[in-house]
Copies of this chain bind each other. A is one copy, B any other.
Amino acid sequence: MMKIDGNCDSGCPVAAAATVFDGKWTSLILRDLMSGTKRYSELQRSLTGISPRMLAARLTMLEEKGLISKTIYPTVPPKTEYTLTESGQRAEAVIMALAAFGATLARPG
């Protein structure tokens, strides 16, 4: 079992992961893509309150980190789809842990 303590230096895996999960939208985008490929418009509809600029920035970050892939179809207008890569699928355990933890937040005590 991976040992985690406060003296985790700059190479700390928690710090590395926290740069991906920096802000709530990343978790919610990855959550949505866990159920399969989504179009930009589907993500925008599902993520109530996200600005187009924030959604584009998060998708670009996730793509640059190799966690999602983007496919553009030359239709009119062009259609863009996003899919979790193999690396991105490794984030599912974090999303499941967040969900289990989030469920306890509603419970008192």
Contact = CB atoms under 8 A, between A and B. Distances in A.
Interface of A: 1-2, 4-8, 10-25, 27-28, 31-35, 38, 42, 46, 48, 65, 86-87, 90-91, 93-106, 109
A31 B46 contact: no
Contact of A98 (B14, B96, B103): B14
Nearest to A36: B6
Contact of A97 (B6, B25, B31, B94): B94
Contact of A28 (B15, B90, B98, B101): B15
Please give the count of copies of this chain that the complex contains: 2
A15 to B, nearest CB: 6
A6 B22 contact: no
A70 B21 CA distance: 26
B27 A18 contact: yes
A103 B48 CA distance: 31
Contacts of A27: 14-15, 17-18, 21
A46 to B, nearest CB: 5
A1 B102 CA distance: 14
